Amino acid sequence: MSVAKRIVAVALLAGIGEVPCVRASEPNEAGRVVSGEVMERIYEQVKTPYKYGVILTGENGANVDCPSVFRRGDRWYMMYNLFAGKGYETLLAESEDLLCWKPLGKILPFRDGAWDASQAAGFIALQDHLWGGSYTLGTYDGMYWLSYVGGALTGYETDPLAIGVAWTGDPTRPAPWNRLDEPVLSRDQADVRPFESVTLYKSNIIHDEARTLGYPYVMFYNGKGPDRECIGMAVSNDMRHWRRFGKEPVIDNGKGISGDPQIVRMGDIWVMHYFGAFWRPKAFDTFACSYDLAHWTKWDGPHLVEPSEPWDKTYAHKPWVIRHGDIVYHFYCAVGDRGRVLALATSKPLGRRD
């Protein structure tokens, strides 16, 4: 099935309504605003009002963070970050049903003497981003890829952090991935923008077959400037060399944090799930929409998840959202009476796992 036909089919399945049958080579009009009516329809598709509960915790009270979920064969896998005191490492877990998760082992451990000696927080890349799609991982140059937040200093998200990339032949094997020797984006590069001048955080790389921005690979990431965190973009032809796209962030809420973007595709609309913090109370997950990847309309209605339970009473944030069958699964980082853990909210009630 062609890309255009897949887009139309997914839009009709999602209930968004009719969408233009656009050839993959024809990008939409730049700067087009997504209407309030369409934003409401998308909210109805992605909302997850039912809290299932905590699905993964760290051993011996260690913090876990930043879930990203993919499928291979008949199983689901999750990359997630572990913080046990020194810094971030990246781990892998597996599941048969998206509810019960079994940790498998580390894929980005600490490595002495490198630019990322004490921090390596990884996130999947090149996933099938169609809403309700396969959620499998694509390849480049015959390999599977991830992007990660790296740094040499110990502590919880100690500045400066930069973005690196890594690759492997088997993303389901709990073994160290190969890494480039240097970060692909950092605050020390000549083209760094003010909103990322202090440090760089979580990223999501998609393969845009239509080359909407002129490049096949597009990275969204949040950076920290002097007074807030915003989300910006970078582009690449080969996954190894990246250039920043645009002079300004694409998501900026004026203060606090806008971060941890995840990109999915509904019909002719791109949807970015991301979290907000401190420009409204606490931390929560929300979304924005775009026709061209560069200009985004922010949702201003109810949050997708927000603090409401003992396990997420402080923060409910850092989304990874998928639709499998007729259920939306919203994985997120919860901070509350059980520490920093991973939790799940869904579009339909699945019972409780308190």
* Closest residue by Cα to residue 217 from 322, 141, 306: 141
Residue 351, in any domain of the structure: no
* Closest residue by Cα to residue 93 from 80, 84, 82, 109: 80
| Cα separation, 132 vs 134, whole angstroms | 7
pLDDT of residue 23: 27
Residue 353, in any domain of the structure: no
Task: Give just the sign of the alpha carbon dihedral 320, 321, 322, 325.
Answer: positive
Note down the domain range covering 320: 3-346
pLDDT of residue 29: 53
pLDDT of residue 10: 42
Domains of the chain: total: 1
pLDDT of residue 354: 64
DSSP conformational letter for 158? P
Residue 238, in any domain of the structure: yes
pLDDT of residue 83: 98
Residue 352, in any domain of the structure: no
Residue 184, in any domain of the structure: yes
Q: What is the pLDDT along the chain (354 residues), one digit of tens a residue?
A: 444 444 444 444 444 443 332 223 233 455 789 999 999 999 999 999 999 999 999 999 999 999 999 999 999 999 999 999 999 999 999 999 999 999 999 999 999 999 999 999 999 999 999 999 999 999 999 999 999 999 999 999 999 999 999 999 999 999 999 999 999 999 999 999 999 999 999 999 999 999 999 999 999 999 999 999 999 999 999 999 999 999 999 999 999 999 999 999 999 999 999 999 999 999 999 999 999 999 999 999 999 999 999 999 999 999 999 999 999 999 999 999 999 999 999 999 998 876
Task: Report the CATH number at residue 261.
Answer: 2.115.10.20
